[in-house]
């Protein structure tokens, strides 16, 4: 067990995120939808500090919540958002 400030929480790395993008294509996501998702999670993916790089479970929850509240901004249907959430969480 490490000290609380040295514990690194699981994150979806950039490499894992690319795998998620491929899986989303297999689930019928268009390139435009996949690019929009990358934009939504971009600031979470690239942290200021190395230990903050990648998407944490909390950032996934926040991003998915935002997407559900702003359907008119990204035009990705709820069923695809659920697939995205499942794919991201499976990579933690």
How large is the greatest C-alpha to C-alpha distance in the chain, in angstroms?
A: 44
Could you read off the pLDDT tens digit of each residue along the chain, which spans 92 residues?
Answer: 445 555 567 999 999 999 999 999 999 999 999 999 999 999 888 877 777 789 999 999 999 999 999 999 999 999 999 999 999 999 99
- Report pLDDT for 8: 64
SS3 letters across 12-41: ECHHHHHHHHHHHHHCCCCHHHHHHHHHHH
Q: With 0.75 as the threshold, say if the pTM is over it.
A: yes
Enter the tokens of residue 13.
């790395």
- Report pLDDT for 7: 55
């Amino acid at each position: 067990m490490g000290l609380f400030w040295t514990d690194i929480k699981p994150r979806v790395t950039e490499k894992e995120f690319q795998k998620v993008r491929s899986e989303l294509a297999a689930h019928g996501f268009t390139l435009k939808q996949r690019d929009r998702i990358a934009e939504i999670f971009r600031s979470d993916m690239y942290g200021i500090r190395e230990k903050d790089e990648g998407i944490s479970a909390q950032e996934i929850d926040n991003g998915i919540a935002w997407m559900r509240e702003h359907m008119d901004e990204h035009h990705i249907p709820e069923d695809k958002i659920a697939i995205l959430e499942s794919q991201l969480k499976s990579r933690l």
